[in-house]
Structure 1
Amino acid sequence: MPVLREVVGSSLRAARMRQARTLREVSSSARVSLGYLSEIERGQKEASSELLAAICRALDVELSDLFAEVSQTLRREEKLAAAGRLAAVPAVAAPVGPGRGPAPAEASVRRLPTVAA
């Protein structure tokens, strides 16, 4: 499952790239250091809500639109992960017991008689 900060960073980077803007331009507009913005975009740092709002303002993107895109990406990734887990689950064994397959392991254990002292 993807990490939230990575999806947020990827969405911010995609918005910046669509606008053909540099990190320097956006970091200056958002009043955040270029290095920190780069770390946010790469998913290495978790941005506060205030910082996300400033970056969105600098990109002229609604915060709600960013979250909607992040939500869609997470939903898609979760569905893909769930589908992968379902494919990886081994088949359920056939029922056991008389006439229905192998006997349970417990039934094949030889019990020793108890001796009274």
Structure 2
Amino acid sequence: MNRILLVEDNEANRDMLGRRLVRRGFDVSVAIDGASALVQARESKPDLILMDIGLGEDMDGWEATRRLKADADTSSIPVIALTAHALSTDLEKSIAAGCADFDTKPVDLPRLLAKIERCLQADANGSA
């Protein structure tokens, strides 16, 4: 069973997406901000991280991703950025921060699941 760390500060979004992923067979843990995401990623070593870009003022998702990618213990974990903004600059910033992929909210679950599977497959093949 693949483990996903869902980093989302909005409780309703976190609950809805978390439940949908669990129903699809994923083991889901959650973090509500960037700082707790860094700790949980180091401790639990998830197979993939879904990172809300619009986290609180202390640390946005891009900064959390940069820190994850700079840490040897978490640098290989693929990160998919999630955002309510579909701007090309958000995609560019996400890729520059180290995200493997990017998706918009509200989440289109089949599209997100396809991206998750691609990232997990690439990681399993050593090309993430």
TM-score normalised by the shorter chain: which range applies?
under 0.3
Structure with the bigger percentage of helix: 1
- TM-score w.r.t. the length of structure 2 is 0.26
> Structure 1 or 2: larger strand share?
2
Q: Which has the larger radius of gyration?
A: 1
Higher relative contact order (CA closer than 8 Å, sequence separation 6+): 1
